[in-house]
Amino acid sequence: MIVKKILQRMKNGTLIESFRKKTYVKIHIKKSKNNPEKYLINLGKICLKYKMNLNDPQTFNEKLNWYKLNYHNELMDFVVDKINAKKYVLSKNLDDIIIKTIGTYSNIEDIDYNSLPNSFVVKNTLDSGGVYICKDKKNININKLKEKLSSFKKEMFDGVHWALETAYSENNKIIVEELIDTLDGHSPADYKFFCFNGEPEFLFVGTERDIDVKFDFYDINFNWLNVRQGHKNNLNRPKKPKNYERMLDICRILSKDFPHVRVDLYNIDGKIYFGELTFYHFAGLTPFEPRKWDYEFGKFFDITKIQHLKWLTC
Q: Are strands 156-157 and 160-161 parallel, antiparallel or unpaired?
A: antiparallel
pLDDT band at 302 (very low <50, low <70, confident <90, very high): very high
What integer pLDDT is reported at residue 141 of this predicted model?
92
Whether the upstream peptide bond of residue 290 has omega within 30° of 0, thus cis, is: yes
pLDDT band at 309 (very low <50, low <70, confident <90, very high): low
Predicted local confidence at residue 209, as pLDDT: 82
In this predicted structure, the answer to whether residue 99 has a pLDDT above a threshold of 80 is yes
> What single letter denotes the amino acid at residue 203?
L
185: alpha, beta or left, given left = phi > 0 and alpha = psi -120 to 50? Answer: left
Q: φ and ψ at 197, to 5 degrees?
A: 50, 45
The pLDDT value recorded for residue 148 is: 87
- Confidence at residue 117, expressed as pLDDT on a 0 to 100 scale: 95
pLDDT, tens digit, 9 for 90 and up, residues 1-40:
554 554 455 445 567 888 999 999 999 999 999 999 999 9
Does the pLDDT of residue 283 top 80, yes or no?
yes
What are the chain's domains? Answer: 71-98+185-314 (3.30.470.20), 100-179 (no CATH)
Q: What is the mean pLDDT of residues 98-105?
A: 96
Longest dimension (CA), the chain: 58
Q: Is the predicted pLDDT of residue 90 greater than 80, yes or no? A: yes
* One-letter amino acid of 212: D
Mean pLDDT value of segment 114-134 = 90
Where is pLDDT greater, at 127 or 285? 285
Q: What is the pTM of this model?
A: 0.92
Helix or strand (DSSP H, E) at 104:
strand 101-105
- What percentage of the chain has pLDDT greater than the value 90? 77
Q: Which residue has the higher pLDDT, 7 or 287?
A: 287
- Could you read off the pLDDT of 155-201 as tens digits, one per residue? 888 889 999 999 988 889 999 999 998 877 778 999 999 999 999 99
pLDDT score for 226: 98
DSSP per residue over 119-155, as a string?
SEEEEESS-SS-EEEES-GGG--HHHHHHHHGGGGGT
